Homo-oligomer: A and B are copies of this chain.
């Protein structure tokens, strides 16, 4: 590996196709460390479908500019063999890797954890920044760090949104203008759930909000306990609404902590 790093290092793992959401992760990393490494690696092991791997948007030169402008000191684009010089130790995501995002994406979270572990091993960062938008991913990474007792601080960065409220995603560019308007309904549904006095009302408002999104094909909408990914109940103090679905074949996910009535949380 040709990485010469000035430790301590803050790491921002990405799959490229960087947008304002990534810029915010890099800026946050910069607050924790002078040396900020942005890795760009589209990991074949976390795609179940060869087409998804092949079609994943790539824009390395634009990515490098955005990363540098946001404060990155090293942009690292490893080869497959650098990441996987031999058989990687596959990290099992366990039960929580097989629910919600994991249901239709067999092996996805195992592949994701495996590459994150490899990046951690190779870079040895003191901290690493991940977006809260992929909340289940963030949860599983924190769990892995605890499991292996890694000396790495996992920093979660708040979701960056378009003016409409739509969570930033490289997939948004595939939406038409009207589809993008509709997609903002996901954020509205999350806010609707959060504007209620209790869990039961939140559930019905979440459903109501989702039904109001034109041409939205729901995968799941649930209010979970953000501490353990179980279904929230009335005594859950860190409730979080999670939504996933498709608009015209484009998969969209989002989530929001239920701060209005769920006792606390969010800092977890």
Contact = CB atoms under 8 A, between A and B. Distances in A.
Given A79-B80, A79-B81, A80-B79, A54 B106 contact: no
A50 B80 contact: no
Interface in A95-126: 106-107, 110-111, 114
Contacts of A211: none
A51 B92 CA distance: 9
Number of copies of this chain that the complex holds: 2
Interface residues of A, number: 26
Contacts of A47: 45
A61 B146 CA distance: 38
A80 to B, nearest CB: 3
Given A45-B50, A50-B107, 17 more contacts: A44-B44, A45-B53, A46-B50, A48-B106, A49-B106, A50-B90, A50-B114, A54-B88, A54-B90, A55-B87, A56-B87, A79-B79, A80-B80, A80-B81, A80-B84, A81-B81, A106-B106
Interface of A: 44-51, 53-56, 58, 79-81, 84, 87-90, 106-107, 110-111, 114
